[in-house]
């Protein structure tokens, strides 16, 4: 499998000067492309197209939180920014690149800035992940779902997004607003994204996993924005994660306004793909 995913092994202080993020635990790295907090393109990935994604979660909100994916060409010289996301008055942010053409020896890292000194949690919401799209696919499934209605949303609790309108579901992955990994995709990888347009100035969207049949849910990625005016959209990208039979995934939200609702339409969604070997092209891009 041509992908990697790494998370922290300890907390880390993030301040108003750029800090390279430290990832002490590799969850997946079958091609040995990740070491010392950085992804280095191996010769086997040369000329192939792929994507990178990172998530950042700190212990308290800050007036400005920035996460950046940077590239060092050929493994020497200065780093350049290739993707960046900035959120205000938030403790959660994710960033994703557009499809990239990888070149042997190029090095990628994740850098963060917090306007107020904060601690990065030792949690799964902090991650660095990447994958490539080769020429062939053994098995590929994909889905997208949107809400069918706009009920009043729960207040001050993380709650599953109810997504009753299935736009596409190629392999019966999606049911009752939850994606379940079937046995024939075990050992592959997933790529998931979610978004919500909620008319609440204090809201967040999450991607969560359950490994016990839906009893307990763990947040793997989140995007939170204390919005102003009419800017209420949040989108979160999980990046690549290993597919394990029976693991379940859902999109969830948190919001703090009584009577708030989400938009019914494509800006509120849960989508993604799962492959047994590799993906050739991004199935759904947002």
CA distance 153 to 263: 11
User: Which residues, in sequence order, are bridge partners of residue 142?
Assistant: 273
Q: Among 230, 235, 263, 231, which Cα is nearest to 153's?
A: 263
CA–CA gap between residue 48 and residue 105 (Å, rounded)? 13
DSSP code, position 193: E
Closest residue by Cα to residue 169 from 273, 276, 282, 286:
273
Q: Do residues 75 and 105 touch, judged by C-beta distance below 8 A? A: yes
Question: Is pLDDT above 50 for 35?
Answer: yes
Alpha-carbon distance of 235 to 206, in angstroms, equals: 9
* pLDDT for position 232: 67
Q: Which has more confidence, 76 or 1?
A: 76
| pLDDT of 29 | 95
Exposure string of 191-212, with b = 16+ CB inside 10 Å and e = fewer, is: bbbbbbbbbbbbbbbbbbbbee
Query: How far apart, in Å, are the Cα atoms of 239 and each of 53, 55, 97?
Result: 5, 9, 10
pLDDT digits (tens, 9 = 90+) for 255-279: 988 999 998 988 899 999 988 764 4
Residue 49 backbone phi and psi in degrees, to 5:
-95, 140
Alpha-carbon distance 245 to 236, whole Å? 23
For residues 186 and 228, give the distance between their C-alpha atoms in angstroms, rounded to a whole number.
43
Share of the chain above pLDDT 90, in %: 73
- Over residues 133-177, the pLDDT tens digits come to 765 656 788 999 999 999 999 999 999 999 999 999 999 999 999
Q: Considering the entire predicted model, what is its pTM?
A: 0.84
Residues 6+ apart with CB under 8 A from 230: none
- Cα gap 149→278, rounded to integer Å: 35
Q: How many residues does the chain have?
A: 286
What is the model's pLDDT at position 140? 84
- Tens digits of per-residue pLDDT, 61-117? 999 999 999 999 998 999 999 999 988 888 999 999 988 999 999 999 999 999 999
CA distance 66 to 99: 21
Query: Is residue 281 scored above 50 in pLDDT?
Result: no
Rounded average pLDDT over 41-51: 92
């Amino acid at each position: 499998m041509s992908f990697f995913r790494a998370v922290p092994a300890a907390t880390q202080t993030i301040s108003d000067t750029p800090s390279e993020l430290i990832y002490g635990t590799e969850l997946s790295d079958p091609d040995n492309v990740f070491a010392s907090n950085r992804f280095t393109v191996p010769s086997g990935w040369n000329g192939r197209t792929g994507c990178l994604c990172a998530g950042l979660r700190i212990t308290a909100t800050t007036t400005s939180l920035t996460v950046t994916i940077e590239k060092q060409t050929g493994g020497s010289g200065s780093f350049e920014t290739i993707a960046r996301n900035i959120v205000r008055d938030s403790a959660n942010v994710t960033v994703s690149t557009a499809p990239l053409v990888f070149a042997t020896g190029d090095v990628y890292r994740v850098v963060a800035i917090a306007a107020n000194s904060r601690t990065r949690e030792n949690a799964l919401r902090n991650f660095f992940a990447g994958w490539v799209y080769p020429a062939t696919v053994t098995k590929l499934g994909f889905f997208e779902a949107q809400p069918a209605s706009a009920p009043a949303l729960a207040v001050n609790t993380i709650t599953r997004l109810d997504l009753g309108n299935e736009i596409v579901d190629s392999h019966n992955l999606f049911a009752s607003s939850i994606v379940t990994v079937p046995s024939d995709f075990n050992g592959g990888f997933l790529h998931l994204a979610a978004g919500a347009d909620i008319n609440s100035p204090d809201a967040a969207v999450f991607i969560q996993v359950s490994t016990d049949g839906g009893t307990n849910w763990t947040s793997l990625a989140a995007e939170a924005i204390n919005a102003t005016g009419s800017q209420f959209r949040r989108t979160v990208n999980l990046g690549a994660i290993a597919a394990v039979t029976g693991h379940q995934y859902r999109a969830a939200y948190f919001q703090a306004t009584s009577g708030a609702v989400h938009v019914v339409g494509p800006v509120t969604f849960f989508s993604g793909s799962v492959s047994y070997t590799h993906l050739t092209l991004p199935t759904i891009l947002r």
